[in-house]
Amino acid sequence: MRIDIITLFPEMCEAVMGESIIGRAQKSNAIEVNCHQLRDYAFDKHRRVDDAPYGGGMGMLMMAEPIALCFEDICKKIGSRPHFIYMSPQGKTLTQERIKELAQYENVCLLCGHYEGVDERLIEKYIDEEISIGDYVLTGGELPALVLADSLARMAPGVLSNNECFELESHYNGLIEYPQYTRPSVWRGIEVPEVLTSGHHKNVEEFRRRESIIRTAKKRPDLLENAELTDKERELAENVLLGEYKKQKNF
């Protein structure tokens, strides 16, 4: 997978994407990340990338032309058109489900917004989708782009040591992950659940599935609607929800 990031702060993006798991994935060519300085595509006499909004109003807007030229240059370098995502508070909120779908693309290009946003004509003519990382406003689109790039890159084959890692993590199967423990088996008098040291893999799996459902019902009941549960599991979740409700109402 190749990820291109169009940004006013390429060094910031390279610093983050060059570290840890993603940095190693780049070194092993499991993924390729290219950051592009938008200012390199500002060819007007003032080399501007932003300007005041027509009709007046607060702040500045990112101009269409530099972004269009940068994206066209990326298309030329790749030899095809990447899926073009604009990181914006107006976008659909990013989920693991969407990450799994985006991981099917060979090439993805991320536009980091700044100022009050981008000239609408660029969005209409070039952007395939707008994605938000949450309903709050940041100073720039670099952190949202890095969040998406990180979550996307870890899905690429060969990035995580054991592909099963992400399949058992929170949200991958629509549920919150089960509680996890490591050595020592007794920490300050608190023991690890016995089933986890029993060596019975089936019992461990059942324990983890049950705890995942209970934890989801307690922390993120909103996820239960789309979770694939057996009738028995659905009944467990409903009992937990009822218990939580009674607790809240001090029944």
- What are the residues binding ligand 4FV (CB under 6 A)? 87-89, 113-115, 117, 132-134, 136-138, 140-141, 144
Q: How far is the CB of 90 from ligand 4FV (least distance, A)?
A: 9
User: How many CB atoms neighbour CB 221 within 10 A?
Assistant: 13
Distance separating alpha carbons of residues 175 and 220, to the nearest angstrom = 8
Distance separating alpha carbons of residues 115 and 51, to the nearest angstrom = 10
Residues β-bridged to residue 109: 4, 84
Q: How far is the CB of 100 from ligand 4FV (least distance, A)?
A: 19
Rank residues 85 and 214 by Cβ distance to ligand 4FV and give the closer one.
85
Rank residues 110 and 217 by Cβ distance to ligand 4FV and give the closer one.
110
Q: How far is the CB of 89 from ligand 4FV (least distance, A)?
A: 4
Cα atoms found within 13 Å of the Cα of residue 195, Cβ hemisphere only = 13
Rank residues 132 and 170 by Cβ distance to ligand 4FV and give the closer one.
132
For residue 84, the SS3 value is strand
Rank residues 54 and 251 by Cβ distance to ligand 4FV and give the closer one.
54
Task: Output the six-digit token pair for 108.
Answer: 């993805």
Q: How far is the CB of 114 from ligand 4FV (least distance, A)?
A: 5
Rank residues 66 and 144 by Cβ distance to ligand 4FV and give the closer one.
144
Measured CA to CA in angstroms, residue 242 lies from 9, 186, 217, 218 at distances of: 49, 32, 10, 10
Q: How far is the CB of 87 from ligand 4FV (least distance, A)?
A: 4
